[in-house]
Amino acid sequence: MRALIQRVERASVEVDGREVGACGAGYLVLLGVGPTDTEDVAGRMWEKVRKLRICADEDGRTNLSLVDVGGSLLVVSQFTLYADARRGNRPSFTGAAPADVADRLYGLFCDLAERDLGTGRVGRGAFGAHMRVSLVNDGPFTVMLDSEELGL
């Protein structure tokens, strides 16, 4: 599982001109699911994101987590995080999980976030849809997490 986390002032996602998800100050998480990912990996990835200390404390240091600051979250499925462009100029996406697996684990990740943060603080994209994502990046501050590299 791969999560590209951007600290944002706000973010939203639209499908066919209609907003389907949004968040205020917090994180925009672009989430990609790999073919060997499991429910356990999704849970451990959520715990890593939830505890990640990339929010500023009163001294301006990145010492606080999303939970510490009462932040919100927008999670958007992003299979292209598994793009492989080692050969040629057209990326291959065969490293991403099949859609049914990815949809289930993306949903689980979002459900876990809602359990811990509350449904009013978690926005979702529309799995498999063509989406327009808008954000105001805070920092900018962007972190990439890969479950395999983290040993999750």
> What are 88-123's pLDDT values in tens digits?
999 999 999 999 999 999 999 999 999 999 888 999
Per the CB < 8 A criterion, the answer to whether 15 and 131 are in contact is yes
- Rounded percentage of the chain residues whose pLDDT exceeds 90: 95
The domain limits of the chain are 2-150
Mean pLDDT of 62-91: 95
**For strand 122-124 and strand 72-77, is the pairing parallel, antiparallel, or unpaired?**
parallel
Tell me what the mean pLDDT of segment 56-71 comes to.
94
Residue-averaged pLDDT of the chain: 96
Question: What is the set of active-site residues?
Answer: 78-80
In this prediction, residues 72-79 reach a mean pLDDT of: 97
Rounded to an integer, the average pLDDT of 16-32 is 97
Q: What integer is the mean pLDDT of 21-39?
A: 97
Query: So what's the pLDDT on residue 120?
Result: 87
For domain 2-150, give its CATH number from 3.40.50.720, 3.90.1150.10, 3.20.20.70, 3.50.80.10. 3.50.80.10
Share of the chain above pLDDT 70, in %: 100
Nearest of 78, 72, 73 to residue 2 by alpha carbon: 78
Question: What pLDDT is recorded for position 152?
Answer: 86
